[in-house]
């Protein structure tokens, strides 16, 4: 009965051998050819049939010319990936034979393989309407991706020019940023795997990935991310209080005792930030894996990857204003070895001092130097001093050249790189002054006095007027405390002279009191993506709490002359009015309920006017 009721195996062949069918087709007899196409397109085709057909096609690839492109496309649509091992091996052999004999089909083969770099969609239909909304969580997905890479390596082995044809296809198939996190994650992961066996494509693939990450980054301003987190936290708190009020039962108490961590704690509330977080985690993992062999740093691999990443940094990151997270790939790789951090600083220094570079690039390079020196824990104080010496000497030479000239007046359009360098020096001093003075106060003070900040502050170019007030205020407080320079007369004069600047924007003319065209840009401000920040936090210098003595020195406020939306992350934390102590938990996002942006940032500073 079982034999009678079971359907017959589809092994029936029509029209003779494959060679005979193709020869008939060349002579104009298409009947068997159409039947062949129909059999290959059958959704219920069996493994045995696929193997038989592929075996014949491998022997007849010489016939599969451009004229039979339609037939080849049907073969490329065969459901081979989720079949038996025998089908997979036969198909890989067919691909190799096809591209080596008929390179005209190289592009379609590559497109087919790359299309498999993302998980397939689950097809769900209701009343003939496709309501598919999720990726297939196939437990064999990792194995399937391995097979895809084997296929790509097979093609590349037979056709050495594969990389130049592959790259445009990788660009074309990159998923839109509104696709699911899983789709983006799989595609980026597979792109990075390609760089392992096609190293000539690594630079282009890194450029492609980082370009997409940048678009995600600038589409999700830090304030939007923080607002979404705050809203989600408030919503979660309300739900929790409601649940506790309604369902205070014994079984609930038992569940609470288990302290199961909800996966939502790891998720970002903002959907684009969630995608960016996942992709940044993958990028950091890739950098670590490439640079380390058997757990040890491989100097040669690391240098090669560093060169590629610096190239991407120059091309994409430096000209982009408003990114908050993507630039941290340079921060991360530089943490592996001091030589890399010094090479990066030297690279930025050359950008800054080269007059042939556009002014905005030079200013951004200055911002990167200041932010990197201030925030990177792995940079020793001896390197900080060496960089300060370079920067300050350049400032003094700049003043020498300008002080007597026709342009010796305060104008950010004329002297942008100078002001950016001043701000980098001031910012570095704010974060590093305790280390500079640590151990031997007399020696440290002697070093700081040798930098001659007084001449920089008092010069005709008036950097205190251009640098953002948050930096100026703390710099003034610190330099007064150690009697290095007295800034307050100049600050008061600048405040009296402060004139609003009219700026044209997309919404019309805006009156702002900001004169810094870089909008207080510090590229290594606190990193707030939950998963990937675990990689950055251990090597990141957070802003430390102000001591009681420092707070005593920072009492009388000064007009800031800056719009609220222009304030830098650096100084958005609020000093509580009742106790005068700045409570900051550097490594905990959730603990700061007042203002998430203040994590790792100094409190709003106040200038201590002399009595």
Q: Distance (Å, rounded) from C-alpha 367 to C-alpha 356?
A: 18
Residue 128 scores a pLDDT above 90 = no
C-beta of residue 562 within 8 angstroms of C-beta of residue 503 = no
Q: Given pLDDT bands bounded at 50, 70 and 90, which one contains residue 245?
A: low
Q: Distance (Å, rounded) from C-alpha 327 to C-alpha 524?
A: 8
Closest Cα partner for 324 from 526, 63, 594? 526
pLDDT at 606: 42
Residue 168 scores a pLDDT above 90 = yes
Residue 77 scores a pLDDT above 80 = yes
Residue 251 scores a pLDDT above 70 = no
Q: What is the pLDDT averaged over residues 75-82?
A: 90
Q: Distance (Å, rounded) from C-alpha 40 to C-alpha 209?
A: 37
Q: What is the DSSP letter of 230?
A: H
Angle at 306 between CA 305 and CA 311, to 5 degrees: 100
Domain boundaries, the chain: 8-121+140-161, 357-498
Using CB atoms within 10 A of its CB, is residue 237 exposed (0-12), middle (13-18) or buried (19+)?
exposed
Q: Distance (Å, rounded) from C-alpha 166 to C-alpha 84?
A: 27
What residues does 502 pair with on adjacent strands? Answer: 511
What residues does 603 pair with on adjacent strands? Answer: 573
Residue 3 scores a pLDDT above 70 = no
Q: What is the pLDDT averaged over residues 40-54?
A: 90
Q: Distance (Å, rounded) from C-alpha 24 to C-alpha 15?
A: 10
Share of the chain above pLDDT 70, in %: 74
Q: Distance (Å, rounded) from C-alpha 317 to C-alpha 210?
A: 9
C-beta of residue 177 within 8 angstroms of C-beta of residue 272 = yes
Highest mean pLDDT among 56-60, 346-350, 398-402, 476-480: 346-350
Residue 165: CB atoms within 10 Å:
16
Q: What is the pLDDT averaged over residues 288-307?
A: 96
Q: Distance (Å, rounded) from C-alpha 268 to C-alpha 274?
A: 5
18 — phi, psi (to 5°)? -60, -40
Residue 601 in tokens: 């940032």
Residue 158 in tokens: 């037979």
Of 69-78, 218-227, 260-269, 280-289, least confident by mean pLDDT is 260-269
Q: Distance (Å, rounded) from C-alpha 305 to C-alpha 537?
A: 22
Share of the chain above pLDDT 90, in %: 51
What residues does 526 pair with on adjacent strands? Answer: none
C-beta of residue 417 within 8 angstroms of C-beta of residue 359 = yes
Q: What is the pLDDT averaged over residues 547-572?
A: 45
pLDDT, greater one: 288 or 43: 288
Of 106-110, 335-339, 402-406, 467-471, least confident by mean pLDDT is 402-406
pLDDT at 494: 81
Residue 465: CB atoms within 10 Å:
20
C-beta of residue 373 within 8 angstroms of C-beta of residue 391 = no
Q: What is the DSSP letter of 120?
A: P
Q: Given pLDDT bands bounded at 50, 70 and 90, which one contains residue 585?
A: very low
Distances in whole angstroms, Cα of residue 109 to Cα of each of 53, 165, 227, 256, 499 = 18, 11, 46, 54, 64
Q: Distance (Å, rounded) from C-alpha 276 to C-alpha 279?
A: 5
What residues does 512 pair with on adjacent strands? Answer: 501
**pLDDT tens sequence across 254-291:** 444 444 444 456 789 899 999 999 999 999 999 999 99
Strand ranges inside 71-172, DSSP E: 125-126, 129-130
503 — phi, psi (to 5°)? -120, 140
Of 170-184, 385-399, 511-525, 586-600, least confident by mean pLDDT is 586-600
Q: Distance (Å, rounded) from C-alpha 52 to C-alpha 49?
A: 5
Distances in whole angstroms, Cα of residue 514 to Cα of each of 51, 138, 362, 498 = 71, 54, 20, 10
Chain-wide mean pLDDT for the chain? 80
pTM, whole model, 2 decimals? 0.81
- Exposure b/e, 431-446, CB count within 10 A at least 16 = b: bbbeebbeeeeeebee
Residue 107: CB atoms within 10 Å:
13
Q: Given pLDDT bands bounded at 50, 70 and 90, which one contains residue 303?
A: very high
Q: What is the pLDDT averaged over residues 575-584?
A: 32
Residue 601 scores a pLDDT above 50 = no
Coil, strand, or helix at residue 274?
A: helix
Residue 402 scores a pLDDT above 70 = yes
Residue 505 scores a pLDDT above 70 = no
**pLDDT tens sequence across 89-120:** 999 999 999 999 999 999 999 999 999 999 98
């Amino acid at each position: 009965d079982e034999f009678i009721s079971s359907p017959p195996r589809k092994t029936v062949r029509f029209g003779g051998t494959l060679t005979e069918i193709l020869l008939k087709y060349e002579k104009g007899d298409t009947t068997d050819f159409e039947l062949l196409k129909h059999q290959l397109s059958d959704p219920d085709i069996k493994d045995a049939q696929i193997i038989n057909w592929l075996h014949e096609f491998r022997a007849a690839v010489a016939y599969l010319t451009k004229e039979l492109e339609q037939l080849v496309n049907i073969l490329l649509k065969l459901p081979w990936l989720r079949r038996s091992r025998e089908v997979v091996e036969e198909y890989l052999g067919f691909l190799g034979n096809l591209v080596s004999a008929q390179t005209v089909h190289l592009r379609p083969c590559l497109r087919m393989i790359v299309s498999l770099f993302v998980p397939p969609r689950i097809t769900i239909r209701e009343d003939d309407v496709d309501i598919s909304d999720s990726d297939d969580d196939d437990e064999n997905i990792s194995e399937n991706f391995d097979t895809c890479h084997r296929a790509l390596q097979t093609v590349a082995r037979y056709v050495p020019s594969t990389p130049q044809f592959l790259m445009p296809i990788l660009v074309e198939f990159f998923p839109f940023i509104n696709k699911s996190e899983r789709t983006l994650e799989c595609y980026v992961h597979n792109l990075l795997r390609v760089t392992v066996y096609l190293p000539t494509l690594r630079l282009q693939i890194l450029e492609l990935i980082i370009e997409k990450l940048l678009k995600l980054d600038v589409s999700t301003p830090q304030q939007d991310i923080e607002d979404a987190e705050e809203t989600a936290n408030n919503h979660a708190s309300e739900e929790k209080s409601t649940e506790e009020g309604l369902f205070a039962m014994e079984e609930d108490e038992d569940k609470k005792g288990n302290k199961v961590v909800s996966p939502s704690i790891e998720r970002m509330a903002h959907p684009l930030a969630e995608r960016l977080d996942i992709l940044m985690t993958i990028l950091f993992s890739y950098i670590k894996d490439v640079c380390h062999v058997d757990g040890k740093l491989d100097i040669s691999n690391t240098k090669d990857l560093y060169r590629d990443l610096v190239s991407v940094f120059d091309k994409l990151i430096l000209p982009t204003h408003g990114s908050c997270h993507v630039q941290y790939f340079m921060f991360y790789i530089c943490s592996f070895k001091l030589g890399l951090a010094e090479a990066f600083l030297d690279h930025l220094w050359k950008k800054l001092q080269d007059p042939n570079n556009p002014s905005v690039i030079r200013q951004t390079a200055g911002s990167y130097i200041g932010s990197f020196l201030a925030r990177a824990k792995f940079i020793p104080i001896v390197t900080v001093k060496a960089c300060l010496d370079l920067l300050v000497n350049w400032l003094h030479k700049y003043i020498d050249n300008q002080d007597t000239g026709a342009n010796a007046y305060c104008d950010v359009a004329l002297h942008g790189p100078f002001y950016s360098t001043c701000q980098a020096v001031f910012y570095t001093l704010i974060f590093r002054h305790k280390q500079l003075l640590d151990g031997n106060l007399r020696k440290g003070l002697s070093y700081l006095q040798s930098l001659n900040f007084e001449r920089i502050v008092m010069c005709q170019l008036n950097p205190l007027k251009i640098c953002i007030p948050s930096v100026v205020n703390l710099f003034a407080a610190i330099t007064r405390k150690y009697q290095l320079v007295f800034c307050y007369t100049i600050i008061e004069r600048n405040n009296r002279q402060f004139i609003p600047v009219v700026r044209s924007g997309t919404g019309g003319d805006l009156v702002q009191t900001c004169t810094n065209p870089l909008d207080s840009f510090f590229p290594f401000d606190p990193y707030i993506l939950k998963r990937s920040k675990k990689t950055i936090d251990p090597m990141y210098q957070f802003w430390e709490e102000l001591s009681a003595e420092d707070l005593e020195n920072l009492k009388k406020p000064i007009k800031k002359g800056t719009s609220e939306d222009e304030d830098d992350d650096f100084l958005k934390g609020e000093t509580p009015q009742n106790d005068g102590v700045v409570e900051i938990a550097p490594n905990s996002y959730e603990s700061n309920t007042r203002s998430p942006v203040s994590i790792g940032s100094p409190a709003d500073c106040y200038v201590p006017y002399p009595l």
